[in-house]
A and B are shown apart, each in its own frame.
Chain A
């Protein structure tokens, strides 16, 4: 069973990696603690489920997996609207205002979800069912979970390449390293912040889209991933891709093995780890 727990830990870490990566980009570049990040994850899940239910039966299986990218693209557009209409007015405000505003955005997005998709659960298991099961050292394991791990790995690699090799990525890193100096040397902070928010939102949407073939999308779907995403950022540290990966693996494995070994304290244990990191190394394991 240990192999299964390990694989479950990796699967869970893959999703958390995508969520926390988005959270980390937004927090690092814009300095905004986005409490609505979980709602963006939920929107990604609802969008993907909606599209799969609507057209899933009419398209070839390969395109079914392409539809999962709709969570990435359309949630990015939701992020763009949110940044242009709400978030950009908060750049010069203090943290309390940002928290209040993003909490308000969370409530607003929950209502939007209720308005568009109603209160019922959306379940779109076709991408999960189609991939069937794999035999891993004599253990049967859903192939879809392995697919999610590969997608998260590819996404992580692409983000790393983007951040380290492209002009846009290097400018985003510069802002996240020293916002005042980046402003002083003339970087287009507003445009770059918009891009960071869209990218962060899209990554949350992708995580939501990837999870919906395994779990029905429901109201309040994004609350727990938001909290776990914050734990990953606290553990891994701000502004570090490596930190997001290590933090996600730590939380993923603690969760997976915790559920098997000590289910009563699995969640409190995560908070305890985050608390210890905050006391001993407040900047996180790989943070600045």
Chain B
């Protein structure tokens, strides 16, 4: 198993945001975290990368415990992170945004253009443009491309499809499959169960900071009670 989370408890101040969360992601899989807004999907992603420190529990990556490591060390160990809300550095150009990851690893001056353009060919057209002047979909492309430029084994994608037009969502689904073919495992936080069913074979439902279901997204689509929990 590439990533294993065991009994994770996370607090922000005195509020517990994750309770006894456990999950596993096998090498080569695309696994979805499903749930309503505020259910705790993003918190799991942020805790995995180290932005939210855990109070108890373990995060094991490539059979090594990485729970107390800083986000930088986790990134250097092979975890890429693409945050929610189309977050890229708006005053930097697209090229600078993606290059940042290459500089983090210290493995060159410029990102692997061939690899990135294979996944997102459109990026070539706006490399010189500032992040501020991109559409929501373009920003998401850049955000994922930036995480990919690290050459990660595991990609953490927080709400990769949120706010995208249905046609664009299809392009992104294809892109995720292309990324998987490169040997990258994906843990994706997603609110839409129908989209999740097109990308992943295995999903978890998160509700109020707890894992309440594990299975194929189709099982959720066929179960009225679970569908209600997911919210769509």
**Which residue numbers of A lie inside 8 Å of B, CB to CB?**
167, 170-171, 173-174, 177-178, 180-189, 288
Question: Helix, strand, loop or mixed for chain A's interface?
Answer: helix
Give the top 4 A-B pairs by smallest Cβ distance, nearest first: A186-B75, A186-B104, A186-B72, A184-B81
Contact B75 A185, beta carbon cutoff 8 Å: yes
Interface positions, chain B 142-189, Cβ under 8 Å from A, are: 146-147, 150
Contact B146 A177, beta carbon cutoff 8 Å: no
Q: A178-B87, A180-B51 are in contact. Are A185 and B92 (CB under 8 A)?
A: no
Q: A170-B96, A180-B51 are in contact. Are A185 and B91 (CB under 8 A)?
A: no
Contact A189 B72, beta carbon cutoff 8 Å: yes
**Which residue numbers of B lie inside 8 Å of A, CB to CB?**
46, 49, 51, 71-72, 74-76, 81, 83, 87-92, 96, 99-101, 103-105, 109, 146-147, 150
Contact B51 A183, beta carbon cutoff 8 Å: yes
B53 to chain A, nearest CB (A): 10
Distance of A189 Cα from B51 Cα, bound (Å) = 13
Q: What residues on A are CB-neighbors of B103 within 8 Å?
A: 167, 171
Look across to chain B and name the residue whose beta carbon is closest to the beta carbon of A175: B89
Contact B101 A185, beta carbon cutoff 8 Å: yes
Q: 8 more A-B contacts (CB under 8 A) besides A174-B92, A181-B88, A189-B72? A: A177-B92, A180-B83, A185-B104, A185-B146, A185-B150, A186-B74, A186-B150, A187-B104
Contact B100 A171, beta carbon cutoff 8 Å: yes
Q: What residues on B are CB-neighbors of A180 within 8 Å?
A: 51, 83
Q: A185-B147, A189-B72 are in contact. Are A173 and B51 (CB under 8 A)?
A: no
Distance of A15 Cα from B99 Cα, bound (Å) = 35
Distance of A171 Cα from B106 Cα, bound (Å) = 13
Look across to chain B and name the residue whose beta carbon is closest to the beta carbon of A183: B71
Distance of A183 Cα from B88 Cα, bound (Å) = 13
Look across to chain B and name the residue whose beta carbon is closest to the beta carbon of A92: B53
Q: What residues on B are CB-neighbors of A185 within 8 Å?
A: 75, 81, 100-101, 104, 146-147, 150
Q: A178-B87, A180-B51, A181-B83 are in contact. Are A173 and B92 (CB under 8 A)?
A: yes
Q: Which of A174, A183, A189 contacts B100, CB < 8 Å?
A: A174
Contact B89 A181, beta carbon cutoff 8 Å: yes
A124 to chain B, nearest CB (A): 41
Contact A186 B71, beta carbon cutoff 8 Å: yes
Q: A170-B96, A185-B81, A186-B76 are in contact. Are A177 and B150 (CB under 8 A)?
A: no
Q: Which of B51, B96, B105 contacts A184, CB < 8 Å?
A: B51
Q: What residues on A are CB-neighbors of B83 within 8 Å?
A: 180-181, 184
Distance of A187 Cα from B75 Cα, bound (Å) = 9
Contact B100 A187, beta carbon cutoff 8 Å: yes
Contact B92 A170, beta carbon cutoff 8 Å: yes
Distance of A184 Cα from B85 Cα, bound (Å) = 14
B101 to chain A, nearest CB (A): 6
Q: What residues on B are CB-neighbors of A178 within 8 Å?
A: 87, 89
Contact B91 A177, beta carbon cutoff 8 Å: yes
Q: What residues on B are CB-neighbors of A167 within 8 Å?
A: 103, 109
Distance of A167 Cα from B87 Cα, bound (Å) = 20
Q: Which of B46, B81, B90 contacts A177, CB < 8 Å?
A: B90
Contact A181 B92, beta carbon cutoff 8 Å: no
Distance of A130 Cα from B109 Cα, bound (Å) = 47
A59 to chain B, nearest CB (A): 41
A277 to chain B, nearest CB (A): 21
Contact B104 A174, beta carbon cutoff 8 Å: no
A162 to chain B, nearest CB (A): 14
B78 to chain A, nearest CB (A): 11
Distance of A170 Cα from B150 Cα, bound (Å) = 17
Q: Considering residues A167, A180, A184, A189, which has the most beta carbons from chain B within 10 angstroms of its beta carbon?
A: A184
Q: What residues on A are CB-neighbors of B99 within 8 Å?
A: 170
Distance of A49 Cα from B181 Cα, bound (Å) = 65
A191 to chain B, nearest CB (A): 10
Distance of A185 Cα from B99 Cα, bound (Å) = 11
Q: Which of A174, A188, A189 contacts B89, CB < 8 Å?
A: A174
Q: What residues on A are CB-neighbors of B49 within 8 Å?
A: 184
Q: A167-B103, A170-B96, A186-B101 are in contact. Are A181 and B72 (CB under 8 A)?
A: no
Q: What residues on B are CB-neighbors of A181 within 8 Å?
A: 83, 87-89
27 contacts between A and B (CB under 8 A): A167-B103, A167-B109, A170-B92, A170-B96, A170-B100, A171-B103, A173-B91, A174-B89, A174-B92, A174-B100, A177-B91, A178-B89, A180-B51, A181-B88, A181-B89, A183-B71, A184-B51, A184-B83, A185-B81, A185-B146, A185-B147, A186-B71, A186-B101, A187-B72, A188-B72, A189-B72, A288-B91
Q: What residues on B are CB-neighbors of A184 within 8 Å?
A: 46, 49, 51, 71, 81, 83
Q: Considering residues A170, A173, A185, which has the most beta carbons from chain B within 10 angstroms of its beta carbon?
A: A185
